[in-house]
């Protein structure tokens, strides 16, 4: 009788509130990356990465002159992190392996057993607590020695990456079922080799970023083909980051075209070669870069093309699309009246925000939940409904335990994702919050706090404390339903427990 009542009551809730229930097999998780949390930058045989070199040599390029030398000290405190993952009840934990911690020089002939043991222990402890490990192989920390050879602008680096990947598969593929080759190829190549803002700090936009992109896409496909032929006991994908590009004025044809061009030349640069029916770079990207190269007196295009065979091998080289998404821009055309060669000029758009959108601590991140639904539908239509895991989504603030703005952000974006799944049948299989804890946010140092758990960076003990968002996310995972507290107008009640 009571059961019957409960069944009717939950039916009543669902019809009055809309169906906010996730499928049983949907996976919720959290994401981190090695350099941003581990510390132990030179511990027990680890080699230097380009981020060690960059942060040590260019303190002026990091907003608070900090480094990731200690970061969240996860190298020594993974037990604390594990306890927090268990408390949250996440289905998976997405973390990255530091290449130079495992192979200090980058080359396969020198293995660091301590580094292998560190990750092996993490994987075993996750599994014994029924948390699936999702492993990113490259989250920006290239072994410094490989940068001496040109890093990702050198096509030969790909074979060293394949050696490294093969090593990881040989050690862990019987335990790890979710693999991601690269985290955010756009940021690796554009911000690292084009704008020079990130490590390795190469400022050669419109040239080095495209060389890097070709190596990264080819390396990704080689690792995928290796995995399928030699291991093939899980899923392997790539995590691509993109905002949603909305036309500034939907009634202006040029704005609609510019927004589509931004989608194709920023996101499609990476997604089109892998997920589209015909593969290769988007046509608009090839056309524009060729025209602008010739106009600038290059003898041919600055975009290095793939051979027919390479196009074939890259196409289809992923079991899923990892999607990192944070925000939206309003887009209109902009020719950038300059002779400078740059990727920004190649794309030829102006990106703005609507001043009405709620802000965050980061200049670049405004709160626009509906952008995620539009992005997911665009991906479904453009790439024939691929399997998607949202591998990063999150909100930066100044810190503090009462993080209601983060709760509202997450609730809004998660609802938008569920709407795309329910109303447009977008094939989203999982979602991860960026990030488990406050970390070292690259050139923003410790000034942006993305964590569900707080860390006081003035305290050497690096004690983790749960924020209100821990309660929110834990409840959501527990019931697999967006909690009623998150509906429009309802008060959000903070409760902080569990230390």
Ligand X SMILES: *[C@@H]1O[C@H](CO)[C@@H](O)[C@H](O)[C@H]1NC(C)=O
CB 185 within 8 Å of CB 238: yes
Asked if 128 is part of the footprint of ligand X (rule: CB under 6 A), the reply reads no
Q: Which stretch binds ligand X (CB under 6 A): 190-198, 207-215, 320-328, 490-498?
A: 190-198
Helices 370-382 and 404-424: angle between axes, nearest 10 degrees: 30
Mask: binding to ligand X, 302-341, rule CB under 6 A, as x and -?
A: -----------------------------------xxx--
Q: How far is the CB of 349 from ligand X (least distance, A)?
A: 13
Stretch in the footprint of ligand X (CB under 6 A) among 29-37, 192-200, 251-259, 461-469: 192-200
Which of 151/386 has CB closer to ligand X? 151
92 touches 131 (CB < 8 A): yes
Q: Which of 42, 203, 232, 249 binds ligand X (CB under 6 A)?
A: 203
Q: For the chain, give the longest Cα–Cα distance.
A: 81
Task: Name the segment binding ligand X (CB under 6 A); options: 48-56, 118-126, 291-299, 489-497.
Answer: 291-299
Closer residue to ligand X (CB): 16 or 297: 297
Of 15-23, 212-220, 281-289, 432-440, the window that binds ligand X (rule: CB under 6 A) is: 281-289
The region of 19-27, 287-295, 401-409, 412-420 touching ligand X under the rule CB under 6 A is: 287-295
Taking CB under 6 A as the binding criterion, the range among 56-64, 173-181, 303-311, 416-424 that sits at the site for ligand X is: 56-64
Cα radius of gyration (the chain): 22
Gap between the Cα atoms of 27 and 235, Å rounded:
14
Find the shortest distance in angstroms from Cβ 243 to ligand X: 21
65 binds ligand X (CB under 6 A): yes
- Nearer to ligand X among residue 198 and residue 471 (C-beta): 198
Alpha carbon distance 163, 103 (integer Å): 10
With respect to ligand X, which residue has the nearer C-beta, 58 or 385? 58
Q: Which residues are catalytic?
A: 184, 392
One of 170, 296, 381, 425 touching ligand X (CB under 6 A):
296
Residue with smaller CB distance to ligand X, 179 or 446: 446
Binding to ligand X by residue 57, rule CB under 6 A? no
For residue 234, report the phi and psi dihedrals to the nearest 5 degrees.
-175, -160
Binding residue for ligand X (CB under 6 A) from 21, 111, 145, 197?
197
In this complex, which beta carbon is closest to ligand X, that of residue 147 or of residue 468?
147
Nearer to ligand X, 285 or 376 (CB): 285
CB of 296 to ligand X, least distance (A): 5
299 binds ligand X (CB under 6 A): no
Least distance CB 208 / ligand X (angstroms)? 11
The number of residues making up the chain comes to 499
64 belongs to the binding site for ligand X (CB under 6 A): yes
- Least distance CB 184 / ligand X (angstroms): 18
CA distance 417 to 429: 11
Number of residues that bind ligand X (CB under 6 A): 17
15 binds ligand X (CB under 6 A): no
Distance in Å, CB of 17 to ligand X, minimum: 47
Give me the least distance between CB of 281 and ligand X, in Å please: 13
Minimum CB distance to ligand X, residue 342 (Å): 9
Interacting residue with ligand X among 18, 89, 155, 196 (CB under 6 A): 196
Q: Does 291 bind ligand X (CB under 6 A)?
A: yes
> Which of these, 275, 265, 269, lies nearest to 212 by C-alpha position?
269
Contact residues: ligand X, CB under 6 A: 59-60, 64-65, 195-197, 203, 284, 287-288, 291, 296-297, 337-339
């Amino acid at each position: 009788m009571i059961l019957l009542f409960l069944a009717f009551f939950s039916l009543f809730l669902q019809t009055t509130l809309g169906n906010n229930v996730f499928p049983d097999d949907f996976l919720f998780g959290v994401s981190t990356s090695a350099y941003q949390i581990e510390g132990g930058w030179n511990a027990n045989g680890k080699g230097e990465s380009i981020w060690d070199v960059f942060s040590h040599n260019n303190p002026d390029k990091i907003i608070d002159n900090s480094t990731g030398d200690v970061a969240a000290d996860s190298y020594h405190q993974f037990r604390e992190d594990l306890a927090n993952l268990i408390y949250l009840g996440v289905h998976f934990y997405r973390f990255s392996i530091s290449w130079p911690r495992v192979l200090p020089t980058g080359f396969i002939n020198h293995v660091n057993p301590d580094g292998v043991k560190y990750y092996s222990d993490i994987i075993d402890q996750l599994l014994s607590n029924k948390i699936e490990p999702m492993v990113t192989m490259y989250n920006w920390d290239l072994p410094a020695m490989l940068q001496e050879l040109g890093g990702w602008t050198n096509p030969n680096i790909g074979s060293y990456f394949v050696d490294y990947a093969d090593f990881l598969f040989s050690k862990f593929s019987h335990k790890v079922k979710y693999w991601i080759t690269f985290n955010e190829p756009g940021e690796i190549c554009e911000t690292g080799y084009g704008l020079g803002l990130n490590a390795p700090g190469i400022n050669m936009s419109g040239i080095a970023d495209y060389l890097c992109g070709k190596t990264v896409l080819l390396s990704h496909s080689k690792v995928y083909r290796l995995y399928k032929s030699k291991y093939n006991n899980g899923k392997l994908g790539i995590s691509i980051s993109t905002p949603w590009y909305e036309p500034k004025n939907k009634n202006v044809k040029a704005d609609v075209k510019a927004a589509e061009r931004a989608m194709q030349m920023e996101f499609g640069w990476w997604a089109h070669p892998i997920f589209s029916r015909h593969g290769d770079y988007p046509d608009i990207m090839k056309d524009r870069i060729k025209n602008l190269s010739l106009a600038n007196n290059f003898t041919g295009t600055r975009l290095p093309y793939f051979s027919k065979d390479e196009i074939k091998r890259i196409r289809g080289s992923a079991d899923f699309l990892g999607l990192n998404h944070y925000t939206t821009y309003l887009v209109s055309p902009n020719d950038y009246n300059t002779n400078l060669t740059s990727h920004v000029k190649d794309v030829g758009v102006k990106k703005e925000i609507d001043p009405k959108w709620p802000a965050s601590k980061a200049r670049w991140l405004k709160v626009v939940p509906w952008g995620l639904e539009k992005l997911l539908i665009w991906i479904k239509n453009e790439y024939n409904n691929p399997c998607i895991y949202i591998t990063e989504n999150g909100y930066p603030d100044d810190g503090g335990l009462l993080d209601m703005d983060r709760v509202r952000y997450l609730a809004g974006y998660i609802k938008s994702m569920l709407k795309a799944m329910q109303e447009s049948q977008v094939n989203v299989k999982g979602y991860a919050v960026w990030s488990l804890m406050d970390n070292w946010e690259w050139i923003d140092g410790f000034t942006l706090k993305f964590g569900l758990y707080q860390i006081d960076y003035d305290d050497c003990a690096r004690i983790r404390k749960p924020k209100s968002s821990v309660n929110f996310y834990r409840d959501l995972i527990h019931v697999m339903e967006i909690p009623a507290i998150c509906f429009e107008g309802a008060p959000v009640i903070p409760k902080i427990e569990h230390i």
